[in-house]
């Protein structure tokens, strides 16, 4: 008889799970306004967009990647390289400026936050989670900590 009561409770809870998940998700982001992720280009960050808070992903190796991409197309001789840059200067700026700005801002902010390793996720400028690439997981960790302090 106990098995059937236990089984009914489990089925009841599983039946309510789809209704409970949206409520849990709403609570997860409560009070979160900005999340900044510091990583390199090899790290897969999820999610890459957010609707309920501002999400900024900084790729700290962006400057090295831009340099490597530009150097790939540079001709070997100095005269040919100059001609190449004169011809393609506007395209190069247009293509690489956002990555350069992102990388430079990321490096400056990482120093400001005194981050000592990556990946690092900074929530609302105050809570730092290291070693996590899933933003929702990092937010859950911060919310758990905030809840424990109350």
19-37 pLDDT, tens per residue?
434 444 457 888 899 999 9
pLDDT at 17: 40
Considering Cα of 118, then 132, then 54, then 63, what sign does the dihedral take?
positive
Average confidence (pLDDT) over 93-122: 95
Nearest in space to 56 (alpha carbons), one of 102, 98, 101 = 102
How far is 77 from 75, CA to CA, in rounded Å? 6
Average confidence (pLDDT) over 61-90: 90
pLDDT at 5: 42
Average confidence (pLDDT) over 55-59: 97
Residue 137 has pLDDT above 50, yes or no: yes
pTM for the whole structure: 0.73
Residue 74: CB atoms within 10 A of its CB come to: 12
Which has more pLDDT, 150 or 78? 78
- 8, 36, 48 from 105: Cα distances, Å: 55, 11, 18
Q: Which long-range contacts (CB under 8 A, 24 or more apart) does 68-71 make?
A: 69/96, 70/96
């Amino acid at each position: 008889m106990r098995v059937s009561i236990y089984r009914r409770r489990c089925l009841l809870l599983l039946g309510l799970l789809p209704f409970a998940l949206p409520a849990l998700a709403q609570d997860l982001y409560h009070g979160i306004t900005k999340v900044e992720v510091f990583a390199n280009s090899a790290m897969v960050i999820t999610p890459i967009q957010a609707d309920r808070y501002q999400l900024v992903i900084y790729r700290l190796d962006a400057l090295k990647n831009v340099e490597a991409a530009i150097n790939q197309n540079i001709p070997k001789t100095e005269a040919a390289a100059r001609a190449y840059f004169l011809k393609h200067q506007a395209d190069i700026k247009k293509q690489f400026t956002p990555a350069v700005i992102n990388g430079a801002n990321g490096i400056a902010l990482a120093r400001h936050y005194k981050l000592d390793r990556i990946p690092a996720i900074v929530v609302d400028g105050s809570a730092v989670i290291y070693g996590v690439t899933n933003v929702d997981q990092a937010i859950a960790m911060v919310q758990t900590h905030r809840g424990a302090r109350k």
